Structure 1
Amino acid sequence: MAEPAAPLSHPRLELSLVEARTRFVQLARLAGLTQQTTVVTEDGRPLAAIVPIEAPRPEPERPNPAAAAGWVRRIDKLRAEFRRQHVGLEQALDEAWRELDRLRPPGADREVDALRAAHADLRRP
């Protein structure tokens, strides 16, 4: 069985003060993207470091009960409106099929029969 991979260490780079100054923008971006730490040296001695920082995590929003109740009322109102519209559309569709059945009874027109078969699951008995 395979062994778990060792955690990746964050890259570390040592640069002279002059070189770090020249490449500062690049080093700062690398710190944020790759978690690279850059140690700035002067005459071989560590002087400073460019290190990545942890991004602050936003606090989870606490639900506002009054706002939630308002949204629930809006959703309930929309559901009722959609049900009302749906009933109206079903009635109109039933009327259209009744009229089509009156004008073209089953077996009289192959195209209309094909429509009936294709929409059999939508038609009310």
Structure 2
Amino acid sequence: MAEPAAPIPHPRLELSLAEARTRFVQLARLAGLTRQTTVVTEGGRPLAAIVGIAEAGPERGNEAAAGWIRRIEKLRAELRHQHAGLERALEQAWQELDRLSPPGADAHLDALRTAHSDLRANGGGP
């Protein structure tokens, strides 16, 4: 019986940063089609690699992205909650000012009411 064929190694190429920049589109396509890995060097030292998505391990990238998205959504929810609390506090402050000094009683407060009328009309937010 014949021996199994040895796996064909994936092509590997080393290029300087300047050369890789010039040929980036070609290198990216080769990585996807032939699984070629291009090692980008700077001053003779490896700096980065251009690899196909299969070699990059997309699962790991998706997990990391999902983690960041969860963190961002959590922060957004916390900020919305804080913003709503600040809006309520600001509206209560204006109600108290209106009670203590009705419109027309204090020119300075009337100027502030006018300056903030768009915020008060929109419920404190955009």
TM-score, structure 2 normalization: 0.51
Question: What CA deviation, in whole Å up to 9, does each residue of 1:34-79 have, x standing for no partner?
Answer: xxxxxxxxxxxxxxxxxxxx84773369561111000000000000
Change (3 A) 1:69 1:112: same
Change (3 A) 1:72 1:109: same
Provide the identity percentage.
61
RMSD, aligned CA: 2.2
What is the match of residue 70 of structure 2? 73
Moved more, 56-65 or 115-124: 56-65
The count of residues paired between Structure 1 and Structure 2 equals 72
* Unmatched tracts of structure 1, length 5 or more: 1-53
CA distance in structure 2 between the partners assigned to 1:88 and 1:124 by the alignment = 17
Higher helix share: 2
What is the match of residue 111 of structure 2? 114
Shift of 1:122: 1.2
TM-score, structure 1 normalization: 0.51
Question: What CA deviation, in whole Å up to 9, does each residue of 1:61-103 have, x standing for no partner?
Answer: 9561111000000000000000000000000000000000001
Q: How does 1:21-36 map to 2 (within 5 A)?
A: none
Displacement over 3 Å in runs of 4+? 54-63
Based on CA coordinates, which of the two structures has the bigger radius of gyration? 1
Change (3 A) 1:114 1:60: farther
CA distance in structure 1 between the partners assigned to 2:119 and 2:49 by the alignment = 48
What is the match of residue 59 of structure 1? 49
Contact 1:106 1:113 in 2 (8 A): yes
Letter in 1 for 2:49: E
CA distance in structure 2 between the partners assigned to 1:68 and 1:119 by the alignment = 40
* Unmatched tracts of structure 2, length 5 or more: 1-40
Letter in 2 for 1:97: W
